[in-house]
Chains A and B, each alone.
Chain A
Amino acid sequence: MALYVALTYTDDVDWSRPGPEHAEEMREYNAFGQAAAAVIKGGHALYPTATATTVRVNGGKGGDVLTSDGPYAETKEALTGFYVLECADLDEAVALAARIPAAWNGAVEIRPVIVFGQ
């Protein structure tokens, strides 16, 4: 088995206070969470990008800490959440990702996780 992270890229929805227009989508996420409970090893929804802070250290290690307001990259679709999935292979991960509501409301990026010491 292998671990993958499925990153959800969608409209910058505030999932902490979803409006009625997101009620159906919320139900879809809950349904996915229950149906795939056996393989979901973790994950969270994220506050919108307005809450993001990007940190850089200027001038090498120990240098000035620079913070800027906003996400690392301003894109039309924002990183709004992630799942950690345990799958046999990429085909399984793709099939699973295709059931995440973000896949039809935006896109899901799948990345294999490095497990150090294996």
Chain B
Amino acid sequence: MDALVRLVRDEGARVLATLVRLTGSLELAEDATQDAIERALLTWPRDGVPDNPRAWLIVTAKRRAVDLIRREAQRPAKEALAMLPEDQVAPDTDLLSLIFTCCHPALSLDAQVALALRTLGGLATDEVARALLVPEPTMAKRLTRARQKIQNARIPYRVPPDADLPERLNGVAATVYLIFNKAYDDPQAAGLAGEAVRLARMLAGLMPDEPTALGLLALLLLQDSRRAARLDPSGPLVLLPDQDRSRWDRAAIREGVTILGTALRRSPVRPDRYAVQAAIAACHALAPTYAQTAWDAVISWYDVLLTVQDTPVVRLNRAAAVAERDGPSAGLALVARLSGLESYPWWHATRAELLSRLGDVPAARTAYCAALALELSAPQRSHLESRLAAL
């Protein structure tokens, strides 16, 4: 039964995408697809799964859409009937078009995230609300508003032209990565990590030649492979040096590293930022112990990352890697040179760690307190509190 629910949900996004193309309305397509899914879950366990589940769902959803159009009588019967003939089904193009609609830059990031989970991920509205820790009425309103903007402002349903594709694909990747990051440090939102991986997998399956799509999937798989060792529902956050590496998900690491290889081979002159971040994650994933990490390789990848994404946070992470290779004073010198990170708790925490390694306990204590004064998730906070107590 679980497999059936998964099958229906996986096919659901493609069926919905095709219905959006046929009806030109996201709202109508969602109603019709929902109806087809309910029928499938009702009849398939009894009659068996049809040979072509997707075709069955599309036919059923189309029939329902025609009913809905006729009932509302807002469109002439001719238009409703025009949908009846068999069309050349192109579910890949349809699904990709729908992804680009839901992650259109004219929609707010909050709306994009909500649509990605509801419309592409197939979660129910209350599930999306719970996952994002937002009251259900708020989420329902947000989704309605987003659908109305798509409809009334005519946000197009199509794969963007080549000239716009890199930028638009980056937008889609950013939305999926944002969903993943919401889960990264928050055990309450842990379910979102799986949803983000699923969306990244969908995107990589549809665009198997795009380094961004492959790099994103590789990055999420590699980061998510550490989830069990990193996040304990009740305990503090466990950072890389202290993680029990036997709890890492080896299958996810193998898959992530393989996909990363493909992403790097397909990369043009300018490397993709997600692929480069995945390469750094792979250096960690492949190290047998923290001490045996290939810091030279990590630092080189950070240098590459700086050519495509030069931000203070990237420089901070690079400095932490330099500290592991060249010692805490070398790292601290780099950390001290960064500006604009006063409100970023991990800048203070990194300073604190390096200061304590240098034996400057009072300065380390001040830095930990500065980090703890900022906004943190519960596991992050208890991690830093235990470091402070251990000084």
Contact = CB atoms under 8 A, between A and B. Distances in A.
B45 to A, nearest CB: 42
Contacts, number: 22
Contacts of A94: 106
Interface string A60-104: 000000000000000000000000000111110010000000000
A48 interface: no
Interface size class, chain A: 10 to 19
A45 interface: no
A87 B106 CA distance: 16
Contacts of B153: 90, 110-112
B261 interface: no
A112 B153 CA distance: 5
A111 B106 CA distance: 12
Nearest to A95: B164
B25 to A, nearest CB: 14
Contact of B155 (A87, A90, A111): A90
A27 to B, nearest CB: 27
B154 to A, nearest CB: 4
B152 to A, nearest CB: 5
A54 B243 CA distance: 65
B156 interface: yes
Contacts of B104: 90
B156 A89 contact: yes
A36 interface: no
Given A90-B154, A91-B156, 18 more contacts: A2-B154, A87-B154, A88-B156, A89-B154, A89-B155, A89-B156, A90-B104, A90-B106, A90-B155, A90-B156, A91-B155, A91-B160, A94-B106, A110-B153, A111-B153, A112-B152, A112-B153, A112-B154
Interface of B: 104, 106, 152-156, 160
Interface of A: 2, 87-91, 94, 110-112
